[in-house]
Amino acid sequence: MTQVTEHGGGVWSIKVPIPDNPLGHTLVHVVDTDRGPVLIDTGWDDPEARDTLVAGLTAIGVALSGIHGVVVTHHHPDHHGLSGQVREASGAWIAMHAADTAIVRRTREAEPGTWLTYLTSKLTAVGAPEEHLAPLRAARTGGRMRTLPGLRAALPDRDIVPGELLPLAGRRLRAIWTPGHTPGHVCLHLEENHPAGLPGHGRLFSGDHLLPGISPHIGLYEDPDDSTVTDPLGDYLDSLERIGRLGVAEVLPAHQHAFPDAAGRVRELLTHHEDRLTGLLALLATPLTPWQLAERMEWNRPWDRIPYGSRNIAVSEAEAHLRRLVKLGRAEAVPGSEPVTYIAV
């Protein structure tokens, strides 16, 4: 069953399934413009997802070949995956923030071994145990490379410029740069009155930045060629506060469901992160490597039941939290420790 929701004012959402993923689906939004329909995100590159997208478009009287443009909130495959197929069928342009386009380009151009080499040295540095590193070494020497989903992703052909209106005929859709979940994540602010008269300043397509029941993953911005010490969690919290101040009438996120109280949800998330940082400080009463911290942090299941790939994501999230604590002056690296350990100050 294709599920299409009409949100009013020439905006619809289509539930596009994500294969084998607890998130379930991506909400692909369709925005009518005077030059034709524009998609906000496209869904995972998978035949069932593509069929669902096409069926959803058909249900609202739109052909895939009639899509005018694609605005991508960020480079993740559940958002950008089908963009190439949409462009192929329709000639639509694809717009993305330059920081995420750079990631797409890097992934497409990467030598197969580069990422594995980088990941191995990275995990060694954060204190991953030998049994976690062994499969990576085996993959490197054995030449058996798992294909990453982003490898075939379409290269966007337009930049989303922060703070500017997108050139959409007959609509006011402003790009708001919200780094954190990815370095080039954007929210899109539809600066038009709410069609059902809800009080507030327009509607917000929030991508993964602001979701009603999930706190998005905040990990490091991985770039093997860039040694800048970034602070993704700090970026994310700043972006959240800015979004909270917009005073929008309704949020149209890329997962779960639409919801009205953006400022309330922002407050919940800020509190959640403050509590989490405080909890981490208690753990850091004794020096811990990022890996040891990840093992002791609270996840949606016990550490020994977290699958291999998710542990890499978890340790990246632990590191993002450590970066924030160091930047706030609430933790510091223990001089001379190797792998480096951190302690609360």
Which residues contact Zn ion (rule: CB under 5 A)? Answer: 76, 78, 208
Q: Which is nearer to Zn ion, 124 or 256 (CB)?
A: 256
Query: Least CB distance from residue 25 to Zn ion, whole Å?
Result: 10
- CB neighbours of residue 69 within 10 Å: 24
Q: Cβ of residue 22: shortest distance to Zn ion, in angstroms? A: 12
Closer to Zn ion by CB, 37 or 180: give it: 180
Complex with Zn ion: residue 136 or 243, whichever CB lies closer: 243
Question: To the nearest whole angstrom, how small is the minimum distance from the Cβ of residue 216 to Zn ion?
Answer: 7
- What is the radius of gyration, based on Cα positions, of the chain? 21
The residue of the chain with the least Cβ separation from Zn ion equals: 76
Q: Supply the minimum distance, in Å, between the C-beta of residue 213 and Zn ion.
A: 13
Nearer Cβ to Zn ion, position 208 or 231?
A: 208
Write down the least CB distance from residue 155 to Zn ion, Å.
Answer: 19
> Closest CB to Zn ion among 3 and 256?
256
The least CB distance from residue 180 to Zn ion, in Å, is 11
Which residue reads 């976690």 in tokens?
132
3-state SS of the chain is: CCCEEECCCCEEEEEEECCCCCCCEEEEEEECCCCCCEEECCCCCCHHHHHHHHHHHHHCCCCHHHCCEEECCCCCHHHHCCHHHHHHHHCCEEEECHHHHHHHHHHHHCCHHHHHHHHHHHHHHCCCCHHHHHHHHHHHHHCCCCCCHHHHCCCCCEECCCCCECCCCCCCEEEEECCCCCCCCEEEEECCCCCCCCCCCCEEEEECCCCCCCCCCCCCCCCCCCCCCCCHHHHHHHHHHHHHCCCCCEEEECCCCCECCHHHHHHHHHHHHHHHHHHHHHHCCCCECHHHHHHHCCCCCCHHHCCHHHHHHHHHHHHHHHHHHHHCCCEEECCCCCCCCEEEC
Task: Name which of 69 and 216 has its Cβ closer to Zn ion.
Answer: 216
Closest contact distance (angstroms) between CB of 252 and Zn ion is 14
Smaller CB distance to Zn ion: residue 121 or 215?
Answer: 215
Distances (CA, A) of 88 to 66, 69, 123, 235: 11, 12, 38, 35
Q: How far is the CB of 78 from Zn ion (least distance, A)?
A: 4
If 0-12 CB within 10 Å is exposed, 13-18 middle and 19+ buried, where does residue 55 land? middle
CB of 342 to Zn ion, least distance (A): 27
Contact 31, 202 (CB under 8 A): no
